[in-house]
């Protein structure tokens, strides 16, 4: 950066300064830090850690359509719905229909767990059976990597 000295041509009183074409990020950083502090303070308030003993109710709920169903596939090909084994993969649709009522089929989520050494072919066959039975919301379950 230089300045013009003298009265030589072209100027006005601001001609001695170069134009600054850089973006000033200081206000942006200030706003981000304020938002970070707000979220750090508000996040613990969003969870409830108070233990209470809830009163008993005589209400008869009509089932939970969002109740997750866990489907497990072992390496040897055995399939479980929750902790209950099913006889063969051909029975999967009928067994799931007993677990999930037809009106909840659109919102029911099936969590598919499989042994890491299971053949990919078996997992796809199981997923195809689910699709053929009308269950489209399938989530694959894995362990979180700890670094």
In a domain, 90, yes or no: yes
Residue 111: phi, psi to the nearest 5? -100, 115
- Owning domain of residue 102: 69-140
In a domain, 6, yes or no: no
State pLDDT tens for residues 43-88.
776 665 555 455 566 655 555 546 778 888 887 888 888 888 887 7
Residue 82 and residue 68: Cα distance in Å, rounded? 10
- Predicted TM-score (pTM) of the model is 0.52
Total count of domains within the chain: 1
CATH of the domain at 125: 3.30.420.270
State pLDDT tens for residues 89-144.
888 888 888 888 777 777 788 888 888 788 888 889 989 988 888 888 888 887 76
Helix, strand, or coil (residue 122): helix
Residue 37 pLDDT level (bands cut at 50, 70, 90): very high
In a domain, 18, yes or no: no
In a domain, 113, yes or no: yes
């Amino acid at each position: 950066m230089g300045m013009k000295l003298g009265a030589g041509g072209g100027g006005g009183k601001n001609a001695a300064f170069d134009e600054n074409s850089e973006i000033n990020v200081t206000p942006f950083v200030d706003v981000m830090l304020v938002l970070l502090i707000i979220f750090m303070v508000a996040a613990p308030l969003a969870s409830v850690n108070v233990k209470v003993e809830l009163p008993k109710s005589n209400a008869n709920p009509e089932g939970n359509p969002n109740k997750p169903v866990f489907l497990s596939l072992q390496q040897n090909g055995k399939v479980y719905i929750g902790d209950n084994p099913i006889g063969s993969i051909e029975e999967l649709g009928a067994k799931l229909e007993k677990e999930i009522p037809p009106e909840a089929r659109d919102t029911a989520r099936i969590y598919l767990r499989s042994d890491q050494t299971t053949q990919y072919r078996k997992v796809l066959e199981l997923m195809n059976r689910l699709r053929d039975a009308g269950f489209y919301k399938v989530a694959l379950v894995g362990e979180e990597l700890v670094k």
